[in-house]
Structure 1
């Protein structure tokens, strides 16, 4: 049996390696990803793959784990993610709550905040 922490860590490593298949393999086939506000971002592997293929095209994409809280089968990560936004390279902070069932991520909840675009006018 794989621990919830191991599955979520494998997911993070696959994300940073931009490995679509390895990333998908950490999620249940009927997994749901949604915002903290309740908006469904993706439901099932097909939708998740469509979204992540686009994200993985970003040259600078990288998620740095800042903090992790483990509550049995719920893993809460705080990540600093480097992105390539239309307006330039920058970062966002993301709160990620993963619910793990049967050695796979069944639900992911996400909250994005503190977007910074490098070199953007801060006035």
Structure 2
């Protein structure tokens, strides 16, 4: 299918599809007239890409894991492993954000919130 039809069926813009093609997430063949021709299975793949992005996966992660998932004997198990790994990343980020919030809160009213904070004396 041509890029216009793929855009209509996937809900993505032609520019987004071209970008995904540039970074290697999708591939289309060039016809003799220069038009791109994409296989039908590109539509569900683009839906997967959009869902994965919504779940916090980067395009690099999607590209890297896409091949793994296609070749996995048990896709559900492979997806579960990816989700578990992403949960660990999210948990670590939440801890970092909580620490950052505490640091910012400690600086409220300090007069110079960007200066080095002196630790409280040990008591």
TM range (shorter): under 0.3
Q: Which has the larger radius of gyration?
A: 2
1 or 2 for the larger relative contact order (CA 8 Å, sep ≥6)? 1
> What is the TM-score with the length of structure 1 in the denominator?
0.26
More helix by share: 2
Which of the pair is proportionally richer in strand? 1
